Amino acid sequence: MRLLLNAAGIALASIAICASAVLISRSPGGAPSAPATCPQRWGGAGIGGWVPQATGIDGAEASLVPGEPVAATICAYPGENFRPGGERLAGTRTLTGQATAMARDLAYLPVTTENRDGPCTAVGGPMTNYLIRFAYPGGEAIWVGTAEEVNACVTTTNGTTTSEAYMGPSITAAYRTGTWKVVRPDDPCDGPAQRRGQNEWMVPGRPVSVLVCGEAASSGARRPRAQHGRQAATSLAAALNSPDTRPSDHTCQGGESTHSRVFHYLFGYADGPPAGVVVWIGCVPGLDNGLLQADVDDSILNQAMRLTPRG
């Protein structure tokens, strides 16, 4: 039996919002604060994953948005996810004072220059492709293509590197309101969570805390959880980083046994987003962070049992 794991091992159902209103940021004099540079149609054939021009800016291979841009223009192309491609431009929204913060949050996403395909759920519904043009003080610019859609199965790219991390609701909120803020679930155990470096390490960097989420006793019930500090986070991260890893295909075999158990780990950091990892005891491979997967060894099993939340 092959079981599907999503990018953080945590199912996330999100409803795509069709941003159809024409929203133009204007200066006090009434003129547009930035020239209209958005293509009139979405030029790709899919959901996200397309930009009108790849960038030559230094750092674009390691980060979706390197440096500190001074403005971000969001171009919206609403449509349906069962026939993506060729959507008409519905409107634009320009963010100025918050462009650097937006770029910083996108720069924290894990990226890869490799072509990677994985399984997706196939719920039909509304979808909005987005292009975001980040402008820099020297006149340079970088395009980022992404989308919001009901399956959260989106590729985000700057034309040089790509990310599978899903930011659709945050982009839609910024387009509608003109304010940038990362949209996170009310309950962190509902995930997902991905952080830069998870294409190389199961748990990158130096976490300062870890939230361990167990399985809910019934549908709709609150997941049991336990919060641990730096020492436990460091020890657990070392154990999760010890097995040999391979690119994740977001599946595992087994897991149907009554003895199988699933734990979700969200590692917190002094700065930036958390890193999410799922450990599925009784499923092979049982360790997955959305980009990498590995087998669960005794060290991981012992840590999982010791940090198990009590329901």
Of 123, 15, 127, nearest to 77 (Cα)? Answer: 127
Of 138, 147, 192, 127, nearest to 49 (Cα)? Answer: 147
Looking only at the bridges linking them, the beta strands covering 126-135 and 71-80 are antiparallel
What pLDDT sits at residue 41? Answer: 95
Q: Are 176 and 19 in contact (CB under 8 A)?
A: yes
Taking the CA atoms of residue 42, residue 43, residue 49 and residue 54 in that order, the dihedral angle to the nearest 10 degrees is: -120
For residue 61, the SS3 value is coil
Q: Are 53 and 159 in contact (CB under 8 A)?
A: yes
One-letter amino acid for residue 238 of the chain: A
Question: Can you tell me the distance from the alpha carbon of 4 to that of 7, in angstroms, rounded to the nearest whole number?
Answer: 10
Handedness of CA 89, 180, 211, 246 (dihedral sign): positive
Kindly tell me the burial class for residue 180, based on how many C-beta atoms sit within 10 Å of its own C-beta (0-12, 13-18, 19 or more).
Answer: buried
Q: Summarize pLDDT for 162-211 with one digit per residue, the tens.
A: 998 899 999 999 999 999 999 988 888 887 788 999 989 999 999 999 99
Question: Can you tell me the distance from the alpha carbon of 306 to that of 300, in angstroms, rounded to the nearest whole number?
Answer: 10
Q: Are 55 and 164 in contact (CB under 8 A)?
A: no
Q: Are 26 and 33 in contact (CB under 8 A)?
A: yes
Neighbours of 233 (CB within 10 A): 23
Q: Summarize pLDDT for 56-84 with one digit per residue, the tens.
A: 889 999 999 999 999 999 999 999 999 99
What pLDDT sits at residue 191? Answer: 76
What pLDDT sits at residue 20? Answer: 31
One-letter amino acid for residue 54 of the chain: A
- The segments of the chain whose pLDDT lies below 70 read 1-36, 115-119, 255-259, 310-311
